[in-house]
Amino acid sequence: MKRVLITGAAGFLGSHLCDRFISEGYKVIGMDNFITGDEDNIAHLFKHENFEFFHHDVTEFVRIDGPLDYILHFASPASPIDYLKIPIQTLKVGSLGTHNLLGLAKAKKARILIASTSEVYGDPLVHPQQEDYYGNVNTIGPRGVYDEAKRFQESITMAYHRFHAVETRIARIFNTYGARMRLNDGRVVPAFFGQILRGENITVFGDGGQTRSFCYVDDQVEGIYRLLLSDYAYPVNIGNPQEITILEFAKEIMKISNASQKIVFKELPKNDPLQRQPDIALAKKVLDWEPKISREVGMQKVFAYFKNLSQEKLFKREHKDFSSHIKR
Ligand code: NAD
Ligand code: UDP
């Protein structure tokens, strides 16, 4: 039985990856320190004989007994509000955490896939974004803690590949949504659905003319799975090219959910990328992959999920309390 370590296992993407690898017959070792994750995301796996879990911060030495075939390094805050609140943890998990996991991959002769992001392109001057675009990132801006951690992560991964011959894979993940996103993490999909379900105004930042391209979680997981098993060591964009402005998106999901609230405009956060759309020609070529689920269908699925959340989760408006994770 192949053994795979998934970091960030209690998070949105990590928990879906745990499910996928369990269903493919792997032994899955999940690891998470719960800083932005939620135990409920993996509670259904705790009794599974092929799932093991370690509550551990990957910025500290990572020890796994026995053989390991694959590592998927997904631990990292991923929402702009999360990483603005825990900037140093974000920098550490992308740098020190990635270093630890690459060291583990080298020691175990395991293949490692790291979760990079469209944020490596920053506020892109090239559209749509292709893998050979170097990006436009403000290193000292508020988003720099995430963007630069992820850029360093890619660099150290390629260094381990070239210098130590570690088998590495780099997924550049574009905005992905689905069940198990934290309703109060501030990202636009849970933010809008939360507002709709609580009967609040819908907050569009800026004039809403900025664009995003949203990928449904099952498509994302399929792309990552194929990339891990491919023989391609360079970065690959994984996302859905269906692009939309945020204002149009707000109107679209109000229609899906039969909402009649007001849209209110708030200040655009600093360095918020004005446009984002993946060029997925490379993923089509090397992975024979492209997304199958349209935004219209995927958003209905995620709306059904949010609608069934407990009142406690739905009305927990305030942001997650990170104080127990912050050393002063
Ligand atoms: P998430 O916040 O739901 O999950 C991240 C998980 O990592 C959480 O469970 C958190 O507790 C854990 N974690 C963070 N720091 C840790 C540490 N030091 N040690 C152990 N665990 C730690 O976010 P997500 O959306 O599932 O994102 C997962 C990964 O995918 C991240 O690396 C993110 O950068 C990347 N990504 C996601 C998206 C997206 O749209 N969801 C887009 C681009 C990149
Ligand atoms: N956004 C918004 N209202 C919200 C939350 C986000 O208009 O309540 C916008 C945000 O400014 C950005 C886009 O939605 O332009 C996507 O934001 P998100 O936080 O999901 O992730 P990003 O793609 O910026 O990393």
What domains, with CATH codes, occur in the chain? 3-325 (3.40.50.720)
| 234 C-alpha to ligand 2 centroid (Å) | 28
Could you tell me the pLDDT band of residue 161, with boundaries at 50, 70 and 90?
very high
- Is 146 annotated in the active site? yes
pLDDT value for 275: 98
Mean local confidence (pLDDT), 299-325: 90
Pocket mutation for ligand 1, best pick of 17, 29, 31, 36 (most atoms within 8 Å of C-beta): 36
Q: How far is CA 143 from CA 158, 175, 254, in A?
A: 23, 15, 29
Partner residues linked to 266 by β-bridges: 205
Q: Residue 233 in contact with residue 271, Cβ under 8 Å?
A: no
Distance CA 262, CA 272 (A): 23
pLDDT in tens, 258-307: 999 999 999 999 999 999 999 999 999 999 999 999 999 999 999 999 99
Q: Looking at the predicted structure, is the pLDDT value of residue 328 above 80? A: no
Mean local confidence (pLDDT), 312-322: 85
Distance CA 117, CA 124 (A): 13
pLDDT in tens, 28-37: 999 999 999 9
Count other C-beta atoms under 10 Å from residue 217's C-beta.
22
Strands 70-73 and 3-7: parallel
Ligand 1, pocket residues at CB < 6 Å: 7-8, 10-14, 32-37, 57-59, 74-78, 93, 97, 115, 117, 173, 175-176
Distance CA 138, CA 278 (A): 20
pLDDT in tens, 37-88: 999 999 999 999 999 999 999 999 999 999 999 999 999 999 999 999 999 9
pLDDT value for 297: 97
Q: Looking at the predicted structure, is the pLDDT value of residue 312 above 90? A: no
Pocket mutation for ligand 2, best pick of 187, 196, 266, 275 (most atoms within 8 Å of C-beta): 187
User: H or E stretch including 212?
Assistant: strand 211-213
pLDDT value for 326: 79
Q: Residue 181 in contact with residue 187, Cβ under 8 Å?
A: yes
User: H or E stretch including 221?
Assistant: helix 217-229
What mean pLDDT is reported for the chain? 97
Which of 70, 83, 121, 146 is catalytic? The answer is: 146
Distance CA 185, CA 82 (A): 7
